[in-house]
Amino acid sequence: YTAVQQQAAFNWFVNALNAPDGRPRWVLAAGNLPPADLHLREDLRTRLGWGHVFALQALNDLERRTVLRTEAESRGVVLSDEAMDFILSRFSRDLGSLMQLLHQLDAYALQTRRAITIPLIKSMLENE
């Protein structure tokens, strides 16, 4: 990052914390490295490391299945391995989309008073 970019980022950070209306703003930054490992001015690097720092990783297939099954169970929904395989092979695999699909399936299953099965999933898609 250039010196000008780093100065602008530092100014933005300070102004967010000392907003003219007196209400501090949240600062959220993302990067490929933790703040401590960034090659930036020391004052900017340390300020970026003031708050919580999280390492986010994409879920692998097993983790994705675990999250989906846990959410289904918390709703009182039984999601068979076959239904899970069908969902994961035919729909978007990002967690947000999967949670939205599970919500739709749960509502449709309650409305039709049926368990979540592959035929129910196909039926829901046909009726959308």
- The tens digit of pLDDT for each residue in 51-83 reads 889 998 889 999 999 999 999 999 999 999 999
Count of Cβ atoms closer than 10 Å to residue 28 Cβ: 7
pLDDT tens track for 29-39: 888 899 999 99
Judged on CB neighbours under 10 Å (0-12, 13-18, 19+), 117 is: middle
Residue 25 one-letter amino acid: R
What is d(CA 68, CA 75) in angstroms, rounded to the nearest whole number?
11
Question: What's the CATH architecture for 61-126?
Answer: Orthogonal Bundle (1.10)
Judged on CB neighbours under 10 Å (0-12, 13-18, 19+), 41 is: middle
**CATH 1.10.8-classified regions of the chain:** 61-126
Structure pTM? 0.64
Q: Token match 């914390």: residue?
A: 17
